[in-house]
Amino acid sequence: MKYYTVLILLFTLPVMAVQWEALPTTPPIPATNPQTEAKIKLGKTLFFDPRISRTGTISCNSCHNILLGGDDGRSISTANGKLGKRNTPTIWNSAFMSALFWDGRINSLEEHAKYPLVDSTKMDMLDWQSVINRLQAIPGYRTMFASSFINGKITINNITKSIATYERTLITPNSPYDRYVTGDKKALTEQQIAGMNLFAEIGCISCHSKPNFSGPQLLDEGWLKKFPKFIGSDYDSKYRLLEDTGRHQFTNKESDKYLWRVPTLRNITLTAPYFHNGAVATLTKAVQIMAKTQLDKNLNIDQAQDIVAFLNSLTGQFPEQIIPALPKILETSVLLENTN
In a domain, 150, yes or no: yes
Mean pLDDT of residues grouped by 10 in the chain (340 residues)? 41 55 96 97 98 96 95 92 93 96 95 95 95 97 98 97 98 98 97 98 97 86 94 98 97 96 98 98 98 98 98 97 92 53
In a domain, 20, yes or no: no
Q: Are residues 49 and 154 in the same domain?
A: yes
User: Cα-flanking dihedrals φ and ψ of residue 304, to 5°?
Assistant: -65, -40
Closest of 192, 207, 197 to residue 13, by C-alpha: 197
Specify whether the CB–CB gap between 258 and 104 falls below 8 A.
no
pLDDT at 14: 34
Characterize 309-335 residue by residue with b for buried, 16 or more Cβ atoms within 10 angstroms of its Cβ, and e for exposed: bbbbbbbbebeeeeeeebbebeeeebb
In a domain, 159, yes or no: yes
Residue 71's DSSP bridge partners are 65
Closest of 230, 200, 51 to residue 136, by C-alpha: 51
pLDDT at 322: 95
Residue 6's DSSP bridge partners are 20
In a domain, 273, yes or no: yes
Query: Which domain range does residue 79 map to?
Result: 37-171+324-331
Q: Are residues 54 and 145 in the same domain?
A: yes
Q: Are residues 156 and 50 in the same domain?
A: yes
* Residue 230 CA from chain centroid, whole number: 25
In a domain, 6, yes or no: no
Q: Are residues 305 and 217 in the same domain?
A: yes
Q: Are residues 69 and 149 in the same domain?
A: yes
CATH number at residue 237: 1.10.760.10
Q: Are residues 199 and 137 in the same domain?
A: no
Specify whether the CB–CB gap between 59 and 53 falls below 8 A.
yes
Q: Are residues 210 and 252 in the same domain?
A: yes
pLDDT at 337: 54
In a domain, 58, yes or no: yes
pLDDT at 242: 98
Q: Are residues 53 and 163 in the same domain?
A: yes
Structurally, the chain folds into a number of domains equal to 2
Residue 106's DSSP bridge partners are 100
193 vs 232: CA distance, rounded Å: 32
177 vs 208: CA distance, rounded Å: 14
pLDDT at 79: 86
Q: Are residues 59 and 121 in the same domain?
A: yes
Q: Are residues 149 and 208 in the same domain?
A: no
Closest of 21, 116, 24, 23 to residue 61, by C-alpha: 116
3-state SS of the chain is: CCCCEEEEECCCCCCCEEEEECCCCCCCCCCCCCCCHHHHHHHHHHHHCHHHCCCCCCCHHHHCECCCCCECCCCCCEECCEECCCCCCCCCCHHHCCCECCCCCECCHHHHCCHHHHCCCCCCCCCHHHHHHHHHCCHHHHHHHHHHCCCCCCCHHHHHHHHHHHHCCCCCCCCHHHHHHCCCCCCCCHHHHHHHHHHHHCCHHHCCCCCCCCCCCCCCCCCEEECCCCCCCCHHHHCCCCCCCECHHHHCCHHHCCEEECCCCCCHHHCCCECCCCCECCHHHHHHHHHHHHHCCCCCHHHHHHHHHHHHCCCCCCCCCCCCCCCCCCCHHHHHCCCC
Residue pLDDT, tens place only, 63-118: 999 999 999 999 999 888 889 999 999 999 999 999 999 999 999 999 999 999 99
